[in-house]
């Protein structure tokens, strides 16, 4: 099948932007049109917490330079919302020019939206989902002394830590019985709770916020005083456009292994897509899906087989990683180390001598090796303790011992061999490696490993 001549992409976030750059890299002739409704150039949403914490600048989040679209002949309708899809005529419809845009292949990359709980006064709370939200929070924080964060999931913890780092007294109000219940077991969550308290962050568990006022957030009869309230209650896929067009929608827009919807002319990728039973809210799966569709739309066979779940919390003074099914307890081998006083918890979930899940809290030097073993589905060493404590390996250098095929940057699937090749071609620092390979440009958690590889290369000419 020849590549489609007219490709329309609805959404220009992390999935949509990756798709467009990959499409243009593979096919210079396709006519590509992008609709995005935020009115901004695409940026890395996963690093918003770093901006809030002051460890990254807004401009560092940019995924595509402003001139790229013009230089590569990509039409972008910025700040324009697609309101309908005419599947019979193969057109997308918008309320402002262009009112009708034809397509040969349509890709929905509409992302997700924050879950806003039905709480009286919740409009007084700020969201923490977009760059605009982050800018608003930073502005409000300058004149605030106390903050309440509604939600103790990953985003809520990152928001709370960022606000605490700005000098605010922060309270987290979480509905569940323990923090990050989607990624952590109860023991790990209890240790995380202690770490947050050591950082001066108060936590109310099992807390139902009943209303938000200008004085703060109310949990039953109790007022949690605040000058600033942030709602971080999770997200859900944006599926309204697809549903109105008659596409099959479950939790997300249902897609097959070619990421096609129930209409073969329409694909869906990123946080709005549901592959099998999974809706992924992580960066790496978004980019993996974008790469598959880019290949398919330029005439190269490809299939998406699902993604490995690797989560890294991005909060100063809190090291936390969760891989796969780290909460499973039955029918598996468990290897666990818990030291609450030291803020450390390490747990491996093993089935048939392969790693199927892990939770690492505290010092996480083991996460690189464990991620590689998890990604490859490799057999594990008999001495399990060496996996939890890499320094027990009798002086062996984990970076040097990595196989060439080891994935260092899971967001972009960049291997040790690719980083070595970039170094051999003159990429002498992490920034240069990022430009050459895209390593570190996702969640950024691999930057330390990339730096170690470069240091090793310089010292020993790997």
Reduced to 3 states, what is the DSSP secondary structure of residue 93? strand
**Average pLDDT in the 382-393 region?**
76
Burial degree of 84 (CB within 10 A; 0-12, 13-18, 19+) = middle
Please state whether beta strands 209-213 and 216-219 pair in parallel, antiparallel, or not at all (unpaired).
antiparallel
Average pLDDT over residues 153-181: 96
pLDDT in tens, 274-323: 999 999 988 999 999 999 999 999 999 999 999 988 888 888 889 899 99
Averaged over 420-435, what is the pLDDT?
A: 85
Provide CATH 3.50.50.60 ranges for the chain: 6-112+236-297, 122-231
Q: What confidence score (pLDDT) does residue 11 get?
A: 97
Half-sphere exposure of 303 (CA within 13 A, CB side): 3
Per DSSP, 380 falls in state P
pLDDT at residue number 462? 46
Q: Where in the chain is the domain with CATH 1.10.10.1100?
A: 397-462
Q: Under CATH, what is the fold of the domain 6-112+236-297?
A: FAD/NAD(P)-binding domain (3.50.50)
Cα→Cα distances 49→140, 163, 208, 318, Å: 16, 10, 25, 13
Phi, psi of 443 (to 5 degrees): -80, -15
For 122-231, CATH gives: 3.50.50.60
Question: With a threshold of 0.85, does the pTM exceed it?
Answer: yes
Closest by alpha carbon to 53, among 216, 168, 189?
168
Of 310, 190, 171, residue with least CA distance to 232: 171
Q: Between 346 and 1, whose confidence is greater?
A: 346
Stated as kind and residue range, the H or E segment containing 26 is helix 14-26
The mean pLDDT of the chain is 90
Give the DSSP letter of residue 372. H
Q: With respect to CATH, is domain 397-462 assigned 1.10.340.30? A: no
pLDDT of 396 > 60? The answer is: no
More confident call, 31 vs 415: 31
State mean pLDDT over 375-380: 84
Give the pLDDT confidence score for residue 152 in this predicted structure.
97
State yes or no: pLDDT of 394 exceeds 50.
Answer: no
**Distance (Å, rounded) from C-alpha 264 to C-alpha 241?**
16
Average pLDDT over residues 267-272: 98
**Comparing 263 with 371, which gets the higher pLDDT?**
263
Q: Which structure tokens are listed for 340?
A: 């609450």
Grouping H, G, I as helix, E, B as strand and the rest as coil, residue 84 is strand
Q: Which of 272, 264, 275, 265 is nearest to 242 (CA)?
A: 272
- CB within 8 Å of 396: residues ≥ 6 apart: none
Query: What are the DSSP calls for 389-458, one per residue?
Result: -GGGSTT--HHHHS-TT-EEETTTTEEHHHHHHHHHTT--SHHHHHHHH-TTSSS-TTHHHHHHHHHHHH
Can you spell out the DSSP letters for 286-302?
HHHHHHHHHHHHTT---
The pLDDT of residue 65 is 87
- Label residue 96 exposed, middle or buried (CB < 10 Å: 0-12, 13-18, 19+): exposed
335, β-bridge pairs: 348
Average pLDDT of 399-426? 80
Residue 435: the pLDDT is 83
Angle of helix 186-198 relative to helix 154-165, nearest 10 degrees, comes to 10
Torsion of CA 161, 126, 284, 345, to 10 degrees: 30
Sheet holding 209-213, edge to edge: 209-213, 216-219, 222-225
Does residue 367 have a pLDDT over 80? Answer: no
The pLDDT of residue 431: 83
Helix (H) or strand (E) holding 253: strand 253-255
């Amino acid at each position: 099948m020849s590549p489609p001549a007219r490709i329309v992409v609805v959404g220009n976030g992390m999935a949509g932007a990756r798709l467009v750059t990959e499409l243009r890299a593979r096919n210079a002739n396709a006519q590509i049109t992008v609709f995005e409704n935020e009115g901004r150039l695409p940026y890395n949403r996963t690093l918003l917490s770093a901006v809030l914490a002051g460890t990254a600048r807004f401009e560092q989040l940019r995924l595509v330079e402003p001139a790229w679209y013009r230089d590569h002949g990509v039409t972008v309708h910025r700040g324009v919302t697609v309101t309908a899809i005419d599947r019979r005529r193969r057109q997308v419809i918008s309320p402002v020019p262009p009112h009708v845009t034809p397509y040969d292949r349509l890709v929905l990359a509409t992302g997700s939206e924050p879950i806003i709980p039905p709480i009286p006064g919740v409009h007084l709370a700020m969201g923490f989902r977009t760059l605009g939200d982050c800018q608003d929070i930073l502005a409000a924080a300058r004149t605030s002394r106390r903050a309440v964060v509604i939600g103790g999931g990953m985003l809520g913890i990152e928001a709370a830590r960022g606000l605490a780092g700005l000098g605010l007294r922060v309270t987290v109000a979480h509905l569940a019985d323990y923090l990050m219940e989607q990624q952590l077991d109860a023991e790990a969550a209890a240790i995380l709770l202690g770490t947050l308290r050591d950082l001066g962050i108060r936590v109310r568990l099992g807390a139902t916020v009943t209303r938000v006022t200008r004085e703060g957030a109310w949990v039953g009869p109790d007022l949690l005083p605040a000058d600033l309230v942030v709602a971080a209650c999770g997200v859900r896929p944006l599926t309204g456009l697809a549903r109105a067009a008659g596409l099959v929608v479950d939790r997300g827009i249902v897609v097959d292994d070619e990421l096609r919807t129930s209409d073969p002319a329409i694909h869906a990728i990123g946080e709005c897509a549901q592959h099998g039973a999974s809706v992924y809210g992580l960066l790496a799966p978004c980019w993996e899906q974008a790469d598959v569709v880019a290949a398919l739309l330029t005439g190269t066979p490809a299939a998406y087989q699902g993604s490995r779940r690797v989560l890294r919390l991005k909060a100063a003074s809190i090291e936390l990683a969760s891989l796969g099914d780290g909460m499973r307890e039955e029918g598996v081998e468990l290897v666990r180390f818990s030291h609450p006083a030291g803020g450390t918890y390490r747990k491996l979930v093993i089935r048939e001598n392969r790693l199927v899940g892990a939770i690492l809290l505290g010092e996480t030097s083991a996460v690189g090796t464990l991620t590689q073993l998890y990604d490859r589905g490799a057999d594990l060493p008999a001495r399990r303790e060496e996996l939890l404590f890499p320094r027990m390996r009798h002086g062996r250098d984990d970076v040097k011992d990595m196989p060439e095929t080891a994935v260092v940057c899971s967001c972009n699937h960049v291997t040790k061999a690719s980083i070595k090749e970039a170094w051999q071609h003159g990429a002498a620092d992490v920034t240069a490696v990022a430009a050459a390979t895209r390593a570190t440009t996702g969640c950024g958690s691999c930057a330390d490993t990339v730096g170690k590889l470069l240091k090793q290369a310089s010292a020993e000419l790997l």
